[in-house]
Structure 1
Amino acid sequence: MARLSDIIEVFIKEMFNENKGNVIFIQRNELADQFRCAPSQINYVLTTRFTYERGYLIESKRGGGGHIAIKQLEYDSSNKREELINQSIGDSMTYHNANALLKDLLESGVIQLRECEIMKIAINDRSLVRVDNKNKVRADILKAMIMIILS
């Protein structure tokens, strides 16, 4: 059986599909009531599954029926795309975070499954065995591969 966090994540992603837009608005307490969980569970999903590194921006509006806006970042023009990739990856990236980014790129159709698998192998700790700063090298390799695929 799927964990509640996974179910909430899928629900929010389906909201993006249904709205056919790149921004959705949710109310944390309303969503918590719907899933019969604490509002902190919604916060957990938002802060771990909808991060900038995974291609999302979160804005919280408080007071007067406040809401949370989740914006799905788009990979459109090459300059914006390059800037977004550089910001998402940064100067250093763990293998875990790199896998999360690749998963999101795959789900959004930016990369294909075969490309994803090849990139995972290239940035794996075993592939970088003789490298001093694996996270920096991993980030550089990942940026270069994604930019080539997107060009």
Structure 2
Amino acid sequence: MGISDLIASFLQESLEETDGGVLEVQRNDLAQRFNCVPSQINYVMSTRFSPERGYIVESRRGGNGYIRITRVRVDRQTLLMQVINTLGSQVDLASARAILNNLVQAGALEENAGRSILAAVGDKALAAVPRESRDTVRADIMKQVLILQV
């Protein structure tokens, strides 16, 4: 397990123990606890605690800098619409996989539906599409299929 995984697990567990789903931590304290640089904490925040994953992260830098993580609970339809609206005109396969995994984990998609959509937007399914156009086609397919899920 890498340092990012350890930090994310620690924050997730701490968040689950809080009342109201809000956790406030000192960036420097967290960096010292895991013997890493503060930018590693920033990386974990941006990749593991994003709005797409159901979190709002507020941050203040400086000597007394803190990070406040709020778990946002939204209904299935709102979450799907949020993802559809944030999908750009292109999405690479790794991002598509992460988005679908997050939707399945959040309960917005059944596991079979997530796997089916992933297969439909995978490189094997898009083999006839020129490589430079795949991310655009992938985004279009994902949007249309997710709209049907709403």
User: Normalization by structure 1: what TM-score?
Assistant: 0.79
Residue 124 (structure 1) shift: 0.2
Using the alignment, how far apart are the partners of 2:118 and 2:45 within structure 1? 25
- Number of paired residues? 148
What are structure 1's unaligned runs of at least 5 residues? none
Structure 1 segment 103-114 matched on structure 2, within 5 A: 103-114=101-112
Q: Please state whether the residue corresponding to 2:44 is helix, strand or coil.
A: helix
Using the alignment, how far apart are the partners of 2:84 and 2:116 within structure 1? 20
Residue 39 (structure 1) shift: 1.7
Mean Cα deviation higher: 61-70 or 104-113? 61-70
Q: Name the counterpart of 1:135.
A: 135
Using the alignment, how far apart are the partners of 1:77 and 1:30 within structure 2? 35
Q: Name the counterpart of 1:61.
A: 60
Using the alignment, how far apart are the partners of 1:62 and 1:40 within structure 2? 11
Taking a change above 3 Å as real, the CA distance of residues 69 and 147 of structure 1, as seen in their structure-2 partners, is farther
Using the alignment, how far apart are the partners of 1:100 and 1:20 within structure 2? 28
2:25 is aligned with 1:26: yes
Q: Name the counterpart of 2:69.
A: 70
Q: Name the counterpart of 1:5.
A: 4
User: Normalization by structure 2: what TM-score?
Assistant: 0.79
Residue 139 (structure 1) shift: 1.2
Residue 77 (structure 1) shift: 7.9
Mean Cα deviation higher: 29-38 or 16-25? 16-25
Q: Name the counterpart of 2:146.
A: 146
Mean Cα deviation higher: 36-45 or 58-67? 58-67
Q: Please state whether the residue corresponding to 1:121 is helix, strand or coil.
A: helix
Structure 1 segment 67-106 matched on structure 2, within 5 A: 67-76=66-75, 78=77, 80-81=78-79, 83-106=81-104
Using the alignment, how far apart are the partners of 1:53 and 1:81 within structure 2? 8
Q: Name the counterpart of 1:17.
A: 16
Percent of counterpart pairs with the same letter?
36
Q: Name the counterpart of 2:113.
A: 115
Using the alignment, how far apart are the partners of 2:12 and 2:126 within structure 1? 33
Using the alignment, how far apart are the partners of 1:73 and 1:39 within structure 2? 25
What are structure 2's unaligned runs of at least 5 residues? none
Q: Name the counterpart of 1:48.
A: 47
